[in-house]
Every structure is written in C-alpha cells, then in structure tokens.
Amino acid sequence: MNIVIKKMVLHHLDVDSNNVETVDLNIKIEVITTYVKDLITDILENPNKRTFKFKDGNTQVKSTLPQLISNHIDIDDILLNNAKRLLDKEISTNKKMNLKTKVQRGSLIHIYFNENGNDNILICKVEHDEIINEKTFEINKGLNTKKKVFKAFLIYMKTTSRQEEIYLNDKNNSKYWWDGFLELEQLKTDDENTEKSLDKIVSMITGTARKDDFKLDSTILRNHVIGYYRNNENFNFTELYDSVFKNYSPHNMDFPITKITSKINGLKNDDDFDKQFTIIPSKIGKKRKNSIKIAPGLLLSIEDYVKNLDKILKPYSEAGVNGITIISDVAYNYIKDVKRDN
C-alpha cells in the first residue's frame, strides 16, 4: 500500500476548558508521520465501516475538503474552525448525557493523502490515553501508538475512474460525530442493515450445513448469532465474527465450521449491508425461530434466543442408538408426569 501524506493538521480538544490547541507537527514530524501512516493503514484495512453521503447544501466540513486539497491560503484557520465546531458538538452532547458518561477527550486530525495515485481525505478523532510518566510519576495524556481508538471519516475523492465514496468507522455510532459535526446521512438504514445482515449470516450457516447430522451444530451456531443480535445494541462485524464463529467448537467433528467461517469472513466485502450499525430488535423477528425434526410429526421448536443452548441440547449415542439429550427440569418433570399418568 503506497501512502503519500500531502497535508496533516492536528488539534487537541479540551471539553473541560472549552479550548482548541493547534499542535506544531514539525517538532516531531517523523514520529507523527509514522503514527499517521499506521493510523491510515488501520482504517483502510478495518472492515467495520458504514457508508454515508453528505446532506444537501454547502455544509461546513464538506466545503473545507476542496480547500484542503488545494492548500488554500487560509487552510489552517479553516481547519481550526472545523475543530472548534467539533468541540461545540462535544460540549453540547456532554450536557445531554449523565454525569458518569462523557465524550472521551481526544485530538482531531485532518489528513490529505494519496493512496496508489488517488486523492483521499481522512478526518479522525483519536481518543487520549492516560499514562504515568516513568520518571516523574505524573499522569500524562496523549495519543496511544499501540491501541488507536478513533472515530474516522474517510472520503475517496471523485475522479474520472471512480465515484465519491464516504465511509465512517465508529464503534459507538455517535450521532454527534456523523450527524452534528460532519452533517452526513446514512445510505442504508439500521432496519435494512439488521435484516439483510442477519438473513445472509443465517443463510450461510444453514446453506453450508444441510446434512441432518449437522442439525445440532447448525442450530446452536444459529442460536449464538441470534444471541449476538439480542444482546448488543450496536453491530460490529469483527466482534460478531470473533465472538460467534472464530472459536466455535462443533459437537460433530465433520461439521463444516472452517467452510462456514470462511464464507462469513467473506461478508466483510459484501456491499448489501454495513459492517457497523445500530441493531433494530424488531427486525430480528423472522429469523429468531428455528426447529429440529425429531421424528415424523415431532418437532423441537426454538422460539427465540436461548441462553446456554449448547448445554441444554447434547448429542446422545449409545449401543447404536443416536438422538438428542435435553437437559431441562421442565422437560424432565413433564415426561415424568406423562409416564406416571400412563
């Protein structure tokens, strides 16, 4: 990946003192250049993006982009106004939040860079970390070079060979960032994203593991997926992949988990749904139900996400007889009462 940085401007934002500080990058230009190139690479390679477009009209941040590329004579003042705009949004957001939850202190970076011959712009809010100075033992705040926590706006500028594309990385899906500061609109709704992503993921599980011998693993894996959607407010593709698929241990050793994980991982390049969005619980409905055929006329119905399903349903095989063991006090008492009545 050939990255050439054309312009970068850094501002520290302090919500508590309502202050924006412009940082002189020439003091440690080599250090900050390495940091920025690593940051750009992290964002370009991160699959957890969401597509956006600018709102209609000559909005503030949008109007500064051509000026950044042309290196307008007043560009430093122009980008300072962007930083002040973000600080204003953060201060107003803090007033609406409870005392325990505050906007994380950080810095705003404007970066104009060229990647493989194409112009791009990255506007990134990088959060600060607290560290204890090993000599003075004082608490210092600054940019973490190892773990970069950020909100990122990435725009591929329009050329004769490509359309303008806008992506955001933001694990928290902060509205003050994309709506208030950047004045963007989501291209795909949360409803669409929830429904389409769940449809594709569940279909890949059931479509790849069609054999009756795989029904238990398929049901448990599907249940884990539904559980992720039920237990999380925001969807993050990498988190879903890591928590549900990456370390799944099948009951049936022939279950095609490697093939399934490979297909799921390929979805990070699927344009039908974003890889970060707010999950809409009402859109989980039609995929939450599942059933296993036990015998002719007998189905085990799963109505919704079941916690610890893999501990409730277990494979049974003894003396040539195969089946499912259901670990449940309710089921046990029901069967015991039925046998007593008979």
pLDDT digits (tens, 9 = 90+) for 230-244: 999 999 999 999 999
DSSP state of 134: T
> pLDDT tens across 49-79, in order?
999 999 999 999 999 999 999 999 999 999 9
126 band by pLDDT with thresholds 50, 70 and 90: confident
62 phi, psi to nearest 5 deg: -55, -40
Above 80 in pLDDT, residue 302? no
Model pTM greater than 0.95? no
State the residue for tokens 């477009």: 53
Which helix (H) or strand (E) segment holds residue 123: the answer is strand 118-132
Q: Which residue has the higher pLDDT, 284 or 145?
A: 284
> pLDDT tens across 189-217, in order?
999 999 999 999 999 998 898 777 788 88
Residues 174 and 228 in one domain: no
DSSP state of 181: I
Residues 110 and 253 in one domain: no
Say which range, 16-20, 35-39, 286-290, has the weakest mean pLDDT.
286-290
> By the 8 A CB rule, do 22 and 92 touch?
no
Residues 200 and 296 in one domain: yes
Residues 263 and 226 in one domain: yes
Q: Which of 36-50, 113-127, 156-170, 184-198 has the highest mean pLDDT?
A: 184-198
Residues 132 and 210 in one domain: no
Mean pLDDT computed over 13-22: 89
Q: Which residue has the higher pLDDT, 329 or 244?
A: 244
167 band by pLDDT with thresholds 50, 70 and 90: very high
User: How far apart, in whole angstroms, are the C-alpha atoms of residue 58 and residue 72?
Assistant: 17
Residues 218 and 160 in one domain: no
| Domains contained in the chain, number | 2
Q: What is the pLDDT of residue 334?
A: 56
Which residue, of 152, 170, 186, is where some domain finishes? 186
State the residue for tokens 């002189």: 24
Above 50 in pLDDT, residue 130? no
> By the 8 A CB rule, do 83 and 20 touch?
yes
239 lies in which domain range?
A: 190-341
Residues 194 and 265 in one domain: yes
Token pair of 235, please?
């969807």
132 band by pLDDT with thresholds 50, 70 and 90: very low
Residues 165 and 259 in one domain: no
Above 70 in pLDDT, residue 177? yes
Residues 249 and 177 in one domain: no
- Mode of pairing for the β-strands spanning 50-54 and 184-186: antiparallel
Residues 29 and 167 in one domain: yes
Residues 22 and 165 in one domain: yes
136 band by pLDDT with thresholds 50, 70 and 90: very low
Above 90 in pLDDT, residue 186? yes
262 band by pLDDT with thresholds 50, 70 and 90: very high
Q: Which candidate, 329, 304, 293, 328, places its Cα nearest to that of 314?
A: 328
Q: What is the pLDDT of residue 135?
A: 47
Q: Which residue has the higher pLDDT, 146 or 80?
A: 80
Which residue, of 156, 186, 216, is where some domain finishes? 186
Classify 199 as helix, strand or coil. Answer: helix
Residues 304 and 161 in one domain: no
> By the 8 A CB rule, do 235 and 276 touch?
yes
Which residue, of 186, 205, 231, is where some domain finishes? 186
